[in-house]
Structure 1
Amino acid sequence: MGRSDHRPPHLAPTQPPPLSLPHPRTRWSRPGARAAPDHASRVRELAAAPAPAPGGPPAGGPAQVIVLRDGAELLDADEAEVAAAAEDLAAECDALVAALSREWGRALPVDLRGHLERVARGEPVPAPLDVLSGEVALLHVWRTRPARWVGVGTAEARPGVPPRLLACAGAGDRPTGAAGR
């Protein structure tokens, strides 16, 4: 079963917020040393934000998922360009995981496919994992303080949806799931 198959309509991916992007034909380049610190500071801000009330919406709005890097400029790109960009994005995610792991300890890799299967069966899945499971296969998760966790992962490209680097935060127990890369 494909990861985006059998997703209930109310969990369809949403459009990322509008970002200032380079020209549509700009090619992605390997991430520089300055890319990860910018992302890390945004993830730290997300981790420091007020936690959602148990069972309720997050204090900052209905979702605590942020787009760190958007591949919207790749919507009209050929498959080879998208594949190269996805590879670059995975390397950028790895650099971010390494940077955050130096601060918060080793990340727990969480395979979200099991959560997606639960969503497809109509079983409850806590936010933001209910939506992320249709976008991200592997989420790197840290407990940042009691009853608060953050995670980062890459959303895979598919027709009409570019690859993206995402960060999320949640309340309660840190999500689990068998994972490996």
Structure 2
Amino acid sequence: MDIANCLALIERLCGREFPREHGRTDVGTGGPGYLIAALRTSGDFHEDDGTERETVEAQYEADRDALGERLAERWGPADVFGLAGVLLRSAEGEEAAEPWGTLAAHVPDLHLWRAESGRWVALGVSRWDGEPPFQLLAVVTETDPP
């Protein structure tokens, strides 16, 4: 993972306009009030006995933490925001604002900062219920966490 490139992408997202409609963007997905960029995506593990999957998961978490250290130099320590409650409330029929509702389906927790612009910046590791691939995600949104 190239931390400098990831930081540059996050910086661009912080100053970028949000899409008017939900859908794909040049770096991932977005919609009114948010952008989600895949900073890194793993392969699949169909032929794996489970050991490679564990190694890759640990590496993605280490990459998130290393990138988070750099963001903490800029915005202070991250708040770790668990999304299990959002997922539970969604399962009970409560609709969560985007991007939180979608993220709750596959990202257990986010490391979260408030940038000088007032936007929220988050890093998380997408796990899609144990299915490949893993993704290291950067999220920029103006929508407050639920």
- TM-score normalised over the length of structure 1: 0.67
Cα distance per residue 1:7-35 (max 9 Å; x no partner): xxxxxxxxxxxxxxxxxxxxxxxx6xxx2
Q: Could you tell me the percent identity over the aligned residues? A: 28
CA distance in 2, matches of 1:141, 1:157: 20
| Pairing 1:139-158 to 2, within 5 Å after superposition | 139-156=110-127, 158=129
Q: For the Cα contact (< 8 Å) 2:44–2:132, is it kept in 1?
A: no
- What pairs up with 1:109-128 in 2 under 5 angstroms? 109-128=80-99
Structural RMSD (CA): 2.4
**Whose radius of gyration is greater, 1 or 2?**
1
- Equivalenced residue count is 139
Higher helix proportion (structure 1 or 2): 2
Ranges in structure 1 where 5+ consecutive residues have no aligned partner: 1-30, 177-181
Alignment CA distance shift 1:160-1:138 (3 Å): closer
Q: Secondary structure at the match of 1:82?
A: helix
**Aligned partner of residue 145 in structure 1, secondary structure:** coil
Q: Greater share of strand residues, 1 or 2?
A: 2
Q: Distance in 1 between matches of 2:52 and 2:93?
A: 36
Query: TM-score, normalization: structure 2?
Result: 0.81
- What letter corresponds to residue 49 of structure 1 in structure 2? R
Report the equivalent of 1:92.
63
Q: 1:92-117: CA deviations, max 9, x gaps?
A: 11001001110111111101111111
For the structure 1 residues 161 and 120, does the alpha-carbon distance in structure 2 shift closer, same or farther, using more than 3 Å as the test? Answer: same
